[in-house]
Structure 1
Amino acid sequence: MIDKRTVLVVEDEEMLLNAVTMEFEDAGFAVLSAGTAEEAYGLLQGAARVDLLFTDIRLPGQLDGWDLAERARLLHPALPVIYVTGYSSEQPRQVSESVLVMKPYRMTAIMSAAQQLGVG
């Protein structure tokens, strides 16, 4: 049996979190989810293997999505990242091998970004 790929979905809007989780599960992914970057970082530090980080940029707490991806890369240097945001006023701080998708987005755009990153 082939192991499922695992995506860590970080989104503070519960409705979006549930919708994105369902879409990734329908696409054959195992899904870990978090409502804050701090919670997500804790999951990344745990034993779980994560193949893709999907994170909103604006999150409650001390860390935002940019911070989370930078810290995640210290733990997992090759981790592909998909950022999503509805705001574009701040300068992007994307890590390499990442994609930025503007809200509102279609899940087809997210799946295509995952494929572009070699995870789809």
Structure 2
Amino acid sequence: MSESVSLLLVEDEPHILREMARALSRRWSPVLQAGSAQEAMALLTAHPEIAVLVTDIRMPGENGLELAMRALAGRGAADALEVVLISGHAMPRDLDDLAPGGRLEFVQKPFRLAELDAAVTRAHERAVTRRNGT
């Protein structure tokens, strides 16, 4: 990775959060972690350099899809934020309708680390492109 782009990982199950963070931190740095949508929004506000949000969809309270939509709306269309949604259930509606411009990726659980890393890589590339204005 040539440019440091912060990654925020959101998962309400602590053991899954730790495992995913450990796996992703081998390639991506820094990997910030949140256990809820509320905690994630606080981190997104405090760290505008976060460019890739990886979130489980099913969480208590505000779910990951709601978090993604709120984060994207809060950052605006010109911002570099990209989202990778993770779920053990079917893909939500057409992702392009939810966030035009390819700002959402979807990874189905159970997944292999290579699948998650590929989705994060695509999101990272879009974030860098948008951040550089190219």
In the aligned structure 2, how far is the partner of 1:24 from the partner of 1:98? 18
> Which blocks of at least 5 consecutive residues in structure 2 are unaligned?
129-134
Q: Please identify runs of 4+ aligned residues in structure 1 that moved more than 6 A.
A: none
Over the matched positions of the two proteins, sequence identity in percent amounts to: 31
Q: Note the C-alpha offset of 1:14.
A: 1.2
Q: Could you tell me whether the CA contact under 8 Å between 2:91 and 2:106 is conserved in 1?
A: no
Higher helix share: 2
Of 89, 99, 102, the residue aligned with 1:95 is 99
Report deviation, 1:75. Answer: 2.7
Give distance in 2, aligned partners of 1:84 and 1:76. 21
**Residue ranges of structure 1 left out of the alignment (5+ in a row):** none
CA distance in 1, matches of 2:91, 2:33: 26
Q: Does 1:82 align with 2:100?
A: no
| Structure 1 pair 5–92 and aligned structure 2 pair: CA distance change class (3 A) | same
Counterpart residue type for residue 116 of structure 2:
I
Shift in CA distance, 12/27, structure 1 to aligned 2, threshold 3 Å: same
- Give the corresponding residue for 2:27: 27
Matched residue, 1:54: 54
Conserved? CA contact 1:55–1:84, under 8 Å: yes
TM-score, normalised to structure 1, is 0.85
